Amino acid sequence: MASVFTEIINGNLPAHAIWRDEECVSFLSINPISNGHCLVVPIDEVDHWVDLPSDKVGHLLEVASIIGQSQMRAFNPNRIGQMIAGFEVPHTHLHVLPINDMADLDFRNATSNVDHRQLAEYAKLIRNNIHASRLDNVVESFVIQ
């Protein structure tokens, strides 16, 4: 059975999309810990990140860095945090999120009640702040035409 992230990648479920290339996608978390909380997900459905080839891990981190730089410009936090936990969905994903202190990395602070109009604005803000040389990978959705 495909993971929820595979369903998003395949366009079967909606997402607030940030990035897509041949190896990975990024979209906003629907259980964000902070405003602009993104997930970076490989297209290949691999449960544990240590099972990915090192070049794919490197690519995920590169994309996370690009998104993190955009989040810094968009939200002006003290730092950008990054976590790989992987218990909630059996598909590797990096959490990339604006933080102001270590407490902002606590999953107990995640919300389950989001305003999708606000998430759409955050996604647009992050996409608009990604460096111009990378705009070819910024996407509005994952729906394949």
Determine phi and psi for 38, rounding to 5 degrees.
-110, 155
Domain 4-132 has CATH 3.90.870.10: no
Q: How many DSSP H helices and E strands does the chain contain?
A: 3, 5
Model pLDDT, residue 144: 34
The average confidence (pLDDT) of the chain is 90
Model pLDDT, residue 88: 87
Q: Is residue 75 within 8 Å of residue 37, measured between CB atoms? A: no
Closest to 44 in 3D by CA, of 96, 8, 86, 6: 6
**pLDDT value at 11 more than 60:** yes
Which H or E element spans position 25?
strand 24-28
Instruction: Provide the pLDDT confidence category of residue 143 given band limits of 50, 70 and 90.
Output: very low
Q: Which residue has the tokens 């939200």?
A: 75
